[in-house]
Amino acid sequence: MRIAVLFAFIAAVAGSRQIPQAPPPPPPPAQTPADSTTLYKASSNLVIVDAVVTDKSGKPIKGLKQSDFTVLEDGKPQKVSVFEYQELSTEPVPPPKLTLADELKLPEAPKTSISPEQPGELQYHDKRLMIFFLDFSSMGMNEQLRAQEAAINYVNKFITKDDMVAIMLYTSAIQVLSDFTNNRDTLSSILKSLPIGEMSELAGLADTDTDNGEDTGAAFVADETEFNIFNTDQKLAAIEQAARMLNNLPEKKALIYFSAGVNKTGIDNQAQLEASVNAAAKANLAIYAVDARGLMADPPGAAASSAGPRGTTAYNGGFYNNQRATINDSQETLYTLAADTGGKAYFDSNDLAGEIVQAQQAMRSYYLLGYYSTNQALDGKYRRISVKLNGKMAAKIDHRPGYYADKVWGKLNGQEKEQQLKEALSAGNPVTDLPLALQIDYFRISASSYFVPVSIKIPGSVVALAAKGGAAVTQFDFAGQIQDEQHAVVGNVRDFIKIRLDQGDATKAGHKSFQYDAGFTLEPGKYRMKFVVRENLTGKMGTFDARFTVPDLSADTAGLKLSSIIWSNQREPLQAAVGAAEKLSNKEVSANPLIVDNQKIVPNITHVFRRDQNLYVTFDVYDSLPDPAAPKSRRVKVSMSLFTAKGAKAFDIGPIGATQLGSTRPEAVPVQVQVPLKDVKPGRYTCQINVVDEFGRKFAFRRAPLIVL
């Protein structure tokens, strides 16, 4: 298998983080004072384990001592330095009787950040820590109101004397509306002032199915796939960020995640899901996912609030099956988040407040055990934890099975850095410090093989950080692997690019992003691709894990066969792409569908364009019938239209003729369309490409969202 690699640069903006420093040596073990509050010294080497000990009937066992426990890490005994029993009440506290003075009193102003643990003590002794995390970006207005009502109902009726509740809101970013408090008035006031309706437009599902979708009366269906990919990753990244905020609190915590499901598109970043789960596990955070849609019973012909189905799908079961598959798919991620963090997912119930009570009841009394690990290697590897009771005491112990150690970049040598990339490809703990966007396409180059271009977009914020530090050059390392359905490796990438930094103006570096392009030759089938990217000055890494399918276009179909459609706003000379001239042979250049007239087409992954740019559309049409009068010619017509969000046509071009077969791709008619955007008003559009084979009497149309700035 041959692999072609190209590089390109385009502008973007992103944030940065600080370079991690090696932690100090572990402090001496803390002593347990006479009172019931444990004193300890925080350290990155301190490992906290929450152990729930129950008898055969499931009741908590009280009165155990520190000497009754043995803690093992990777089979090696650890000295317990922190020991505390957390006894939590499950009896609701009735609301206090209000006096006239109470009614006139304003609620306390909440703290809008999570307070770290106070040095030397457990801040929340014998407290049940619950976080109401309201994901408004995944809920419509009805779901937002239902979640708000359930949270207020819980605070007013079911909160116990040991409950401490924090409130977080996610729209386009996380907002901490309240630190942990048990003040009913404060919590109720915050919940009542939630911005109902904000970001509810993002809750709509992407309608990508031409047969089973709703019939809205428009001539096309809006394909929001590109935006939903990033939208899903942002939701999961927000959960990871919340877990990191709570990581400094050693107590067991429950995050009540209100949402209306997390929809997937089939090519989501699995690495972000795993990173969110691992961050929650490291923070002793159990996720309880509450589906705010409640009990769903959509009729086969669609509900009164939505349009009916197209064609005959209401009569053959296709529309109903699609409805259920979409709902189940949106709940699958919620179930994974809950199950993998020790929580629970609640579906198909209208008693949302009751589901919060179930999460509360699951937070039983527990023993808090802390030890300073004897393994001080900052290698990022997984370490297994085992907690046992000494003697012959019969009991069941529930605790987290392990954790991932930290990593320190500055102390790794060249061989260790190379090993780090290899381990990152196979690790179960993906690193997401460096955000990535990835796009996978396909082009047929023979009857049984396809060229699969892969484009990865990387923010330039870490380069800006390196420039501020005075560095003149940095380097991006790339490692990638493709596996088939049998887990056999069918493709590898190990590459790097060097970046010269502008020391005169470090802010300029932050306004660039870097796009890496690789190409693979694959057979039709289902694959899994994992890419790891590392910036070599800060050691920041990003992982993208995705599954994709290369279709088999050899079979005869009713519609016209097309490759992936590449949307671009940039072409550059092939020699300008770093390393392209040295790494590509003439044969590889001629066979690459993204190289036209010795120019490299740079895919626009995010589909965001400016009015002063051109829109380049590139794709192949396969197996169109020849012209009877000229067997080497084809008659393919291509037109393109832009539609507004309301379905109005805003721009139209074509039909444009394509007649020549590609010289290196059999039975393929290459199509290149260039559209100036200067006359297109700023806004969000749906672009529809119509392709017609006039002799074969077949057609196809594809759609994609575009944003014009």
- pLDDT bin (cut points 50, 70, 90) of residue 70 is very high
CATH number for 556-709 (one of 1.10.150.120, 2.40.10.10, 2.70.50.60, 3.30.450.20): it is 2.70.50.60
CATH of domain 414-553: 2.60.40.10
Structure token pair of residue 553 = 């276009």
Q: What is the DSSP letter of 60?
A: B
Q: Which amino acid is at 545?
A: D
End-to-end CA distance of the chain: 41
Q: Do domains 124-192+199-216+227-298+314-364 and 414-553 have the same CATH topology?
A: no
Q: Which of 136-150, 266-280, 328-342, 423-437 shows the lowest mean pLDDT across its residues?
A: 266-280
49: amino acid identity, one letter? V
**What would the DSSP string read from start to end of 398-412?**
E---EEEPPB-STT-
pLDDT at 453 over 70: yes
Q: Which of 140, 142, 293 is nearest to 203 (CA)?
A: 140
Q: What is the pLDDT of residue 588?
A: 58
Mean pLDDT of 349-375: 89
Tell me: pLDDT of 156 over 70: yes
Q: Angle at Cα 372 formed by Cα 371 and Cα 377, nearest 5°? A: 135
pLDDT tens digits along 490-520? 988 888 888 777 655 445 555 567 788 888 8
Mean local confidence (pLDDT), 331-343: 87
> Contact, 124 vs 249, CB < 8 A?
yes
Residue-wise over 332-367: b if at least 16 C-beta within 10 A, else e?
A: ebbebbbebbbbbbbbeeeebbebbbebbeebbbbb
Query: Phi and psi at residue 297, in whole multiples of 5°?
Result: -140, 65
Report, as an integer, the average pLDDT of 212-226. Answer: 41
CB-count exposure of residue 598 (10 Å: 0-12, 13-18, 19+) = exposed
Interstrand relation of 698-708 and 608-609 (parallel, antiparallel or unpaired): parallel
pLDDT of residue 221 exceeding 50: no
What local confidence, expressed as pLDDT, does residue 589 receive? 65
Question: Which has more confidence, 616 or 579?
Answer: 616
Residue 218 has pLDDT above 60, yes or no: no
How far is it, in rounded angstroms, from Cα 478 to Cα 314?
A: 48
pLDDT interval class at 203 (50, 70, 90):
low
Tell me how far apart the alpha carbons of residues 434 and 14 are, in angstroms, rounded to a whole number.
10
Band of residue 134 on the pLDDT scale cut at 50, 70, 90: very high
> Phi and psi of 190, rounded to 5°?
-65, -45
Nearest to 254 by CA among 354, 351, 360: 360
pLDDT for 20 equals 38
In the structure encoding, which two tokens stand for residue 454, read together?
A: 């892969």
* pLDDT, position 590: 65
Tens of pLDDT, residue by residue over 514-550, are: 788 888 899 999 999 998 998 887 788 888 888 899 9
Identify which has the larger pLDDT, 334 or 106.
334
Does residue 470 surpass a pLDDT of 50? Answer: yes
Taking the domains of the chain in order of start, what are their residue ranges? 46-87+367-404, 124-192+199-216+227-298+314-364, 414-553, 556-709
Structure tokens at 465: 């950080």
8 A C-beta contact, residue 254 and residue 342: no
pLDDT attached to residue 103: 63
d(CA 636, CA 406): 57
State residue 432's pLDDT score: 79
Provide mean pLDDT across the span 377-394. Answer: 84
How is residue 525 written in tokens? 């089938």
Question: Which SS3 state, helix, strand or coil, does residue 192 take?
Answer: helix
Q: What is the pLDDT, as a whole number, of residue 24? A: 45
The 3-class SS string of 452-473 reads EEEEEEEECHHHHHHHHCCCCE
In this predicted structure, the answer to whether residue 258 has a pLDDT above a threshold of 50 is yes
Cis peptide upstream of residue 195 (ω within 30 degrees of 0): no
pLDDT at 285 over 70: yes
Query: Environment class of residue 505 by beta-carbon count within 10 Å: exposed (0-12), middle (13-18) or buried (19+)?
Result: exposed
CA dihedral 422, 424, 428, 431 (to 10 degrees): 180
Q: Is the pLDDT of residue 637 over 90?
A: yes
| 648-673 residue pLDDT tens | 888 888 888 888 887 778 888 999 88
**Which residues are within 8 A (CB) of 28 and not within 5 positions of it... i.e. 6 or more apart?**
none
**How confident is the model at residue 18, as a pLDDT?**
36
- pLDDT for 39 equals 47
Segment 61-85 shows an average pLDDT of 92
Chain-centre distance of CA 510, in angstroms?
Answer: 23
pLDDT at 219: 38
Q: What is the mean pLDDT of the chain?
A: 79
Instruction: For residues 254 and 252, give the distance between their C-alpha atoms in angstroms, rounded to a whole number.
Output: 7
Written as one letter, the residue type at 360 is Q
Per-residue model confidence (pLDDT) at position 46: 80
Q: Kindly indicate the confidence band of residue 356, based on its pLDDT and cuts at 50, 70 and 90.
A: very high
Q: What is the mean pLDDT of residues 190-203?
A: 80
Convert 69-107 into a string of H (helix), E (strand) and C (coil).
EEEEECCEEECEEEEEEECCCCCECCCCCCCHHHHHCCC
- Sorting pLDDT into bands at 50, 70 and 90, what band is 104? low
With contact defined as beta carbons under 8 Å apart, do 625 and 696 qualify? yes
Q: Which is it for strands 285-291 and 345-346: parallel, antiparallel or unpaired?
A: parallel
Reading the block at residue 410, the tokens are 């500055």
Q: How far is residue 95's CA from residue 97's CA, in Å, rounded to a whole number?
A: 7
CA–CA separation, 125 vs 121, rounded Å? 9
**Strand segments (E) across 191-271:** 253-259
Q: Are 237 and 278 in contact (CB under 8 A)?
A: no
Mean per-residue pLDDT for 479-489?
90
Which of 484, 463, 477, 495 lies closest to 431, judged by CA?
Answer: 477
Stated length of the chain: 709
CATH superfamily of 124-192+199-216+227-298+314-364: von Willebrand factor, type A domain (3.40.50.410)
